[in-house]
Amino acid sequence: MRTDTQTLHATVTPLSSGATEARETTLLAWRVHRLREDPRRLGLVVASYAAALLFWRLVFPHPIALFLPIVALTSAMAEYLFPIHYRVTTRGAYVSCFLSRLFLAWPEVKRARHGADGVFLSPLTRPSRLDQFRGLRLAFAADNEEAVLATIRHCRMEHAPNTEMASTTATEAA
pLDDT at 160 over 80: no
Predicted confidence (pLDDT) per residue in 5-42, tens digit: 443 333 333 444 444 356 889 999 999 999 999 999 99
Q: What is the pLDDT of residue 51?
A: 93
- All structural domains of the chain, each given as residue ranges with its CATH number in brackets, are 3-33+82-173 (2.30.29), 37-78 (no CATH)
Question: What is the distance between the alpha carbons of residues 86 and 137, in angstroms, rounded to a whole number?
Answer: 10
Cβ within 8 Å of residue 91, ≥6 positions away: 14, 24, 105, 106
Q: What is the pLDDT of residue 164?
A: 61
* Rg for the chain, CA atoms, rounded: 19
Question: What is the distance between the alpha carbons of residues 88 and 140, in angstroms, rounded to a whole number?
Answer: 12
Could you tell me the pTM of the whole model?
Answer: 0.76
pLDDT at 4 over 60: no
The mean pLDDT value for 104-112 works out to 93
pLDDT at 103 over 50: yes
| Alpha carbon distances (Å) from 129 to 29, 118, 125 | 29, 19, 12
Average pLDDT of every residue of the chain: 83
The percent of residues in the chain predicted with pLDDT above 90, rounded, is 59
Q: What is the pLDDT of residue 163?
A: 64
